[in-house]
Structure 1
Amino acid sequence: MTGSSVLSVLCIYVVLTFGSFITVIKSLETQTQSHEHYSYDRVINLPGQPLTPSVSQFSGYITVNKDHGRALFYWFFEAQSHPSKKPLLLWLNGGPGCSSIGYGAAVELGPLKVNKNGGLNFNPHSWNKEANLLFVESPVGVGFSYTNTSSDLDILDDQFVAEDTYNFLVNWLQRYSQWSSHDFYISGESYAGHYVPQLAELIHNRNKDISENPFINLKGFIVGNPETDDSYDYRGILEYAWSHSVIPDEVYDTAKNVCNFENNNWSKECNAAMEIVFDKYKEIDIYNIYAPICLINTTSSVVGSDSHVSSFKRPIRIPAGYDPCYTPYVQEYFNRTDVKKAFHANTSIDYKVCSDHVFNLYNYTISSILPIYTELIKSGLKIWIYSGDADGRVPVIGSRYCIEALGLPLKSPWRSWFHNQQVGGRIVEYEGLTMVTVRGAGHLVPLNKPSEALSLIHSFLSGQPLPKDR
């Protein structure tokens, strides 16, 4: 070997060795930063939290756009047992403008639920029995999430939300890299019927080019009482109100004759007819028609219904549930300074469960999610839709119309499923999609029927069928 050849080999060796050294250093730096964030974001104990059982939880901010100073707030719970072996499940609430922490985590399916005494109760039916559970407040302007660029709030729409949530996931999984290889599922309810499939679509498409994008191990999604297609959803609202004796025959007949729900620009006659329908619903809880309404002098369970007078394309906000008075409990708790500090939240933010500002500024640019279902069903993702059958806002009738419109081959016919020796609801399986109803539940299924909801998510994640008999 010549002297120049030896010199070349030595140079290559030095470069490779130095390159490996730099790679190791960067890896150690990333691990150190991740460990620092992991330690800082850990929630030791929230005010009013019961001492037992122990809850492994984390919360904080993930930047989704550095230039605009935009960050989303999250609350994460490790699974109660064998977290290293269980999937990662993201939960999103809708609105738009309602908090996944104020509703999903603190009222519905998280392990710690806010009570009326200003403390927390342990939830024996939390979904972190089945998965590592991640809640994120999205879009910016919701809950503790924020932007330093006020003009961001003027351009909020489904695409904006999907992109921000995707960036959140990428950055969160970099911070918590131990979860990046786990099976990942998305869940949510109401207007998250838009958020969840669109996020799944974005992840699916970005996963096609892992040279440019980090791989997210998406396996499927499940949505509850989801807004899916405006025309079918509003047809369902009208027919459900009539079939459940909320409105008289003449109101139903008039609305049926003057409304063409396939047209996003409703006529004056249709607006007037549907205003009467929603006025009748103000007497009860549209989100759970057999539950009592809130009688204290505060936010009622039908707040926002008058917004439909001018534009019925805009969905009603989502305050609802078995205890329709819980909204002030949650807001009072998360506005406490000691809670914000323990929670690693911006203490200057006035916490609201639902943001009127976000709701009023949101741009409703997509009227149907059905084309996305068609695309994702072909991809082989596991897809479930569930529906509490006492919900008047996104009723089971409308969801059935949406699914029928997909024209999927039947895999397993409509049947009852059982829970604690009683009918829990009904289930029908199509090729690529499963629909489940939850008997007696309203818009917030995990709140109204927590035990049934836990059985539901167990079946979805484990692949074990819902019981066919008592």
Structure 2
Amino acid sequence: MIFQRQVLLLFLCLIISCFSPITCSSSNVLPKQQEEDQISALPGQPPVTFSQFSGYITVNEEHGRALFYWFTQAITSPQNKPLLLWLNGGPGCSSVAYGASEEIGPFRLNKTGSSLYLNKYSWNTEANILFLESPAGVGFSYTNTSSDLKDSGDKRTAQDALVFLIRWMSRFPQYKYRDFYIAGESYAGHYVPQLAKKIHDYNKANSHPIINLKGFIVGNAVTDNYYDGIGTVTYWWSHSLISDQTYKSILKNCNFAEDKTTHKCDDAVSYAINHEFGNIDQYSIYTPTCIGLKNNTIRHIRLKNTLLHRRLSGYDPCTENYAEKYFNRPEVQKAMHANVTVKIPYKWTACSDVLIKNWKDSEGSLLPTYKELIAAGLRIWVFSGDTDSVVPVTATRFSLSHLNLTVKTRWYPWYSGDQVGGWAVVYNGLTFATVRGAGHEVPLFQPKQAFILFRSFLAGTKLPKSSNI
């Protein structure tokens, strides 16, 4: 009788494993590598019903480059839900600090950095979410070759991310062939389409590709140096941040198509920032600034290929402070299997100053990549929080307009509850949406609207045109 019961349990377990994201055996344990990466619980974490994993994937043995990930399964039916990779930009900023901890992840940090609380609008209600700290040198990701930190760039970041995905799926084979999407914001406007192209090319070159890329979605995305530049200064002027004289001076003296700027251009931009902006949060121009910052400075900007990056550094918002308190705690690092094998010789920070100062290659325009991926039939959505002055909505609209796409559904308001959540237009091959009242990190400022946006993107449906959601 005992033997029959054991056989029955084994049979049921084998059936379940066909439908479950967790491989089952007669002892009901995870495969060894997944078990080693499983998080039992994070310090200060509320009870949850989903599984979490974190750890390292080596992407280059010769240089000792390893990327750190944090994976949160979907709250319900993870075996039936897609896989989403989230990337933050900078370049050099952590997806653990931003995407996971203050935007789309299941937890938010309290002000003391000692405990977590649940995010009502976490995206893991709709998908399994994989947060990646990329490239090496960001967050807990590391390299044993110090020169790697001084010659990072777009190309190697995309290649390492592709290697990461292939090897991560070998560790988690239940996600091979799963519907796969990429999301991100800011300088991930480079990372996301560049990685999508890498995957597309990889899939074309392999007879049995394991990454089932369906599409991507990016927010307040750095897209094209020239059109982003024109759109940014236009936003500053049209939102009364700068004077007519400064607006004309920037347009006259700045050649946005050039990587290097002239002294006259730098002087014009510097005057706008230092004398006309005032003490505002450039990431969210209508919200109060964070008090209690170091040296009583304003909230600064850390972003490549934008006008503001040319004059400002040391970005230090309050929420970043909470993350740096929490993820530097030894018990948190132990629970996440972070910083254990190779001790990184520096404190965990939300962004790396070294990487952004030494970024070696950056594409001037992602528009050709968009055209190629649109032609490949990927689902592509771009969104903009409309109170961001760093990569503003006008910058994105100017850039996308030069794709010369045919309008499929004309500009319309979409709804969140009984309020307008933003506006959208559907082109043949791409959807663009604004998020009303949101700053640079849309899910931080308007979590409900961002959730509706993501859910509509996954479903491949238009944003709601009526106030019934």
CA contact (8 A) 2:386 2:393 kept: yes
Q: Distance in 2 between matches of 1:306 and 1:153?
A: 17
Q: Name 2:10's counterpart in structure 1.
A: none
Alignment of 1:126-137 (within 5 A): 126-137=122-133
The Cα of 1:411 is off from its aligned counterpart by 0.7
**Partner residue, 2:161:** 165
Offset, 1:305: 6.5
How far residue 319 of structure 1 moved from its aligned partner, in angstroms, is: 4.8
Q: 1:184 is matched with which residue? A: 180
2:142 maps to 146
Query: Is structure 2 residue 250 aligned with structure 1 residue 258?
Result: no
The worse-fitting range, judged by mean Cα deviation, of 293-302 and 185-194 is: 293-302
Range 114-123 or range 311-320, more displaced: 311-320
1:436 matched to 2:433: yes
Deviation at 1:110, TM superposition (A): 0.2
RMSD in angstroms over aligned alpha carbons?
2.3
Distance (Å, rounded) in 1 between the aligned partners of 2:150 and 2:58: 19
Tell me the CA shift for residue 50 of structure 1.
Answer: 1.0
1:38 aligns with 2:31: no
Distance across 1 between alignment mates of 2:210 and 2:141: 25
1:375 deviates by 0.8
Q: Does 1:336 align with 2:338?
A: no
Amino acid at match of 1:208: K
3-state SS in 2 of match to 1:136 = strand
Amino acid at match of 2:191: Y
Contact 1:34 1:175 in 2 (8 A): no
C-alpha separation in 2, matches of 1:121 and 1:319: 25
Q: Secondary structure of 1:366's partner?
A: coil
Change (3 A) 1:297 1:389: closer
Aligned to 1:206: 202
Deviation at 1:61, TM superposition (A): 0.4
What letter is aligned with 1:412? T
Deviation at 1:44? 0.5
Deviation at 1:340, TM superposition (A): 0.4
CA offsets per residue over residues 402-425 of structure 1, 9 Å max, x none?
110000111110000011110000
5 Å-filtered alignment, 1:355-394, equals 355-394=352-391
Structure 2, gaps ≥5 residues long = 1-23
Provide the rounded CA distance (Å) in 1 between the counterparts of 2:83 and 2:314. 25
1:80-112 deviation digits (Å, cap 9, x = unpaired) = 111111100000000001000111001111001
Q: Distance in 2 between matches of 1:95 and 1:315?
A: 15
Q: Any idea what SS the aligned residue of 1:435 has?
A: strand
Distance 1:332 1:420, change over 3 A: same
Q: How does 1:419-458 map to 2 (within 5 A)?
A: 419-458=416-455
**Alignment-derived partner of residue 194 in structure 1:** 190
- Is 1:58 aligned to 2:80, yes or no? no
Note closer, same or farther for the CA distance 1:233–1:43 as it changes in structure 2 (3 Å cut). same
Distance (whole Å) between structure 2 residues aligned to residue 281 and residue 140 of structure 1 = 35
Deviations 1:146-199 (A, max 9, x none): 001111122211001000000000000110000112100000000000000000
1-structure distance, mates of 2:308, 2:55: 36
* Long gaps (5+) in structure 1: 1-27
Match of 1:76 among 41, 66, 71: 71
SS of corresponding position for 2:218? strand
Residue 297 of structure 1 deviates from its aligned partner by: 3.4
Q: Is the Cα–Cα contact under 8 Å of residues 264 and 313 in structure 1 kept in the other structure?
A: no
Shift of 1:115: 1.3
Distance 2:426 2:69 in 1: 33
How many residues are paired up? 434
SS at match of 1:459: helix
SS of equivalent residue, structure 2 residue 53? strand
- The corresponding residue for 1:287 is 283
Structure 1 counterpart of 2:356, which letter? F
Alpha-carbon deviation of 1:262? 2.3
Query: Compared with structure 1, are the counterparts of its residues 168 and 33 closer, same or farther at alpha carbon in structure 2 (3 Å cutoff)?
Result: farther
Q: 1:407 aligns with which of 404, 407, 424?
A: 404
Contact 2:302 2:309 in 1 (8 A): no
**For 1:275, what is the secondary structure of its paired residue?**
helix
Q: Check conservation: 1:81, 1:129, Cα contact below 8 A.
A: yes
Describe the SS at the equivalent of 2:272: helix
Compared with structure 1, are the counterparts of its residues 159 and 134 closer, same or farther at alpha carbon in structure 2 (3 Å cutoff)? Answer: same
Which whole-Å CA distance do the structure 2 matches of 1:182 and 1:363 have between them?
A: 34
2:224 pairs with 1:229: yes
* Alpha-carbon distance between aligned partners in 2 of 1:380 and 1:306, rounded to the nearest angstrom: 30
Contact preservation (8 Å) 1:34, 1:176: no
Q: How much has 1:308 moved relative to structure 2?
A: 9.4
Cα distance in 1, alignment partners of residues 222 and 119 from structure 2: 27
Partner of 1:9: none
Whose radius of gyration is greater, 1 or 2? 1
> Which amino acid counterpart does residue 406 of structure 1 have in structure 2?
L
Distance 1:301 1:123 in 2: 28
- Between stretches 202-211 and 85-94, larger displacement belongs to 202-211
Residue 351 of structure 2: aligned partner: 354
Residue of structure 2 in register with 1:241 after alignment: 236
Q: Which residue of 1 aligns with 2:87?
A: 92
Cα 1:90/1:319, change in 2 over 3 Å? farther
TM-score, L = length of structure 1: 0.88
Name the amino acid aligned to 1:110: G
The letter for the 2-side match of 1:456 is L
Contact 1:95 1:317 in 2 (8 A): no
Cα pair 2:103 2:443 within 8 Å, conserved: yes
* 8 A contact 2:301–2:315 mirrored in 1: no
2:214 is paired with a residue whose SS is strand
Query: Cα distance, 1:223 vs. partner?
Result: 0.2
Return the offset for 1:307.
9.5
The aligned counterpart of 1:23 is: none
> SS state of the match for residue 412, structure 1?
strand
Distance 1:73 1:318 in 2: 24
Q: Deviations over 1:230-255 (max 9, x none)?
A: 11111111111111111111111211
